[in-house]
Amino acid sequence: MARRPTRALLLGALFLLAVGLVAGWSLSAWALWQTEVPDGLDPLTVPDSEILSPDLLDEARSYETFLRVLFLVSLVVVIVALALYARFGGRFVRESAAGRIGTGMLLGMLGLAFLWIVDIPFGLAALWWERRHDVSELDYGTWLAENWLALGGEFLFVCLALLVVMGLAGPLRDWWWIPGGAVFVALALLFTFVSPYLLPAQVDAPPDVVAETRSLAEEQDVGEIDVRVADVDSYESPNAAAAGLGPTRRIVVWDTLLESFGDDEVRVVLAHEVGHHSREHLWKSVAWYALFAFPGAFLIAWTTRRRGGMREPTAVPLALLVFVALQTVALPAQNAITRNLEAEADWVALETTEDPDAARDLFAGFSEQGLIDPSPPTWAYALMETHPAIAERIAMAEAWELRAGR
C-alpha cells in the first residue's frame, strides 16, 4: 500500500525535474538569443540583380546548386555508411589487442576512416567544380594530402572524446553523461581559449591594421585586442576570424583579404570581428555548446544502453551514428544560432564604422569572388549557411542607413 504513493511521488518529482530542466534550458536559450539587432529589419530586401550582374548571378546559382545537391547526397551516404558501420563495425574488435578504452578508440578511428573513404568522391567532385569555376586553385594531390592530415586531427579528437566517455562510463555506467557533459564543456572552453594558436601560421599585422583595430576596440569599449595576419596560400578565399578568450583574445585576418579588398572594406571586417569579442560571442558559443552537450550526451548514453552502454567498445560504432545523426538534426538550429551572432556582429560593425557603403561593397565582393548565391533557397539556408545570406547582410546595411537618416 505504501509503495504506490512513493512511486507516484517519485514520478511526480521526476516530472517536475524534467519540466524544470526544459524551462531552464528554454530560458537560457532565450537569454542567449538576445542581440542588439533592432527588430523590424526583416522586411527590407535587396534584389539579387542589384548585387550581381545577371550573368554572374546565373553562374553563382548554377555553381551553388551543384554543391548543394552534392552536400545532400553526401549527407545521406554518410548516414547510410555510418548505419552500416554501426551494424557491422563491432567486428573490428578482433583487430585490437588494446583494453576496453583502447579498442573503443580503434573503433572510433576506424569509423571516421570509413567516413573519410566514403566522402572522398564527394570532396573530389566539389573540388573539381570549384576549379572549373575558378573559385579554387587547389590541386587534387594537395587536397588529398590536406584531407589526410585533417583526418589525423580528427582521430586525435575522437580518441580524446572516447577516453573521457569510456573512462567515465567504466565506474558510472549509464550516468557518464552528467560529468561527461561537464568535461566536454570544459574542453570546449579550453579549445576556445587556445584556438588562436591553432589557426594558420600568423605574422605581425601591418601597423595601419593594428592601429585601426585598436581604434575600433576603443569605440566598442572592449579593451586591447591583438590582431595578426594569417599567411595562407594564394588560392584560399578571403577570411577573418575572432578567436580566444580573455588574455588570448585575438583577431586573425587572412592575407588574401587584405590583398583583395580596400581599406574601408577591411575596416568593416575588423569592426565585425571586434564585435564578436565586444559582444562576448565566444563565451556565448560555449554556453550554446553546453546547452546542446548535455542532452546530446544523454541521448548517446540512452541509445547505446542496448549494446552494454559506452563502457563497451562495441557500442562505439552505434554512438558514432547517433552523434552524427544528432548533429544533422541539430544542424538547422546550430546554423540559426551562428547566423544570429553573425548578424549582431554585422550590426555592431555598422554602428562602429558608420559606413554602409563599405559594408555593401564588402558583401557584394564576397558574393562575386566566391560565386555565392545572394539569396539561397530556404532549405539550403537552414542546412548549410552559418552566416546571414548576402542579400540579408546588404539589406541590413541599407536598413542601418535608413535608420541613421542618411
Partner 1 sequence: MAAVEPHPIRLVVEDDLARSRLTVFFRLLLAIPHLIWITLWTIAMVLIAIVNWFAVLLTGRLPGGLHDFTAAYVRYTTHLNAYLYLAANPYPGFLGTPGSYPIDARIEEPERQSRWKTAFRIFLALPALLLMTTLVGAGGGGGGGGGGGGTTGDTDFGSEAAWGAGGTASAVFVAAILAWFAILARGYAPVGLRDLAAYGLRYAAQTFGYVLLLTDRYPNVDPREPPATQPTPEKPVRLRVEDDLRRSRLTVFFRLLLAIPHFVWLFLWGIAVFLALIVGWFATLATGRLPDALHRFFSAYLRYEIHVFAFVLLVANPFPGFTGTPGSYPVDVEIGPREPQNRWKTLFRLFLAIPAALLNSALSGPLYVAAFLGWFASLALARMPESLRNLGAYVLRYSAQFYAYLYLLTDSYPYSGPAEYVEPEVALEPVPTWPDAPPEPSF
Binding residue for partner 1 (CB under 8 A) from 36, 42, 50, 95?
95
Q: Which residues of 70-104 are buried (b: 16+ CB within 10 A; e: fewer)?
A: bbeebeeebeebbeebbeebbebeeebeeeebbbb
Q: Note whether 266 and 253 are within 8 A (CB).
A: yes
Q: Note whether 389 and 375 are within 8 A (CB).
A: yes
Instruction: State the Cα torsion 54-257-388-115 to the nearest 10°.
Output: 100
CB-wise, 114 or 323, nearer to partner 1? 114
Q: Which stretch binds partner 1 (CB under 8 A): 8-16, 36-44, 98-106, 320-328?
A: 98-106
Task: Collect all residues with Cβ–Cβ distance below 8 Å to 174 and sequence separation of at least 6.
Answer: 301, 302, 305, 309
Q: Is the CA virtual torsion 317, 318, 323, 329 positive or negative?
A: positive
CB-wise, 123 or 206, nearer to partner 1? 123
The size of the interface with partner 1 (CB under 8 A), counted in residues, is 22
Q: How far apart are CA 310 and CA 22, in angstroms?
A: 25
Q: Which stretch binds partner 1 (CB under 8 A): 40-48, 97-105, 224-232, 249-257?
A: 97-105
Shortest distance (Å) from residue 259 CB to partner 1? 35
Binding residue for partner 1 (CB under 8 A) from 28, 35, 65, 96?
96
179 part of the interface to partner 1, by CB under 8 A = no
Q: How far apart are CA 279 and CA 343, in angstroms?
A: 12
CB-wise, 89 or 238, nearer to partner 1? 89
Binding residue for partner 1 (CB under 8 A) from 2, 97, 201, 329?
97
98 part of the interface to partner 1, by CB under 8 A = yes
Pick out residues in 107-136 that bind partner 1 (CB under 8 A): 109-110, 113-114
State which amino acid sits at residue 359: A
Shortest distance (Å) from residue 26 CB to partner 1? 39
Shortest distance (Å) from residue 78 CB to partner 1? 17
80 part of the interface to partner 1, by CB under 8 A = no
Q: What are phi and psi of 35, to 5 degrees?
A: -135, 175
Where does this chain bind partner 1 (CB under 8 A)? 92, 94-99, 101-103, 105-106, 109-110, 113-114, 148, 151-152, 155-156, 159
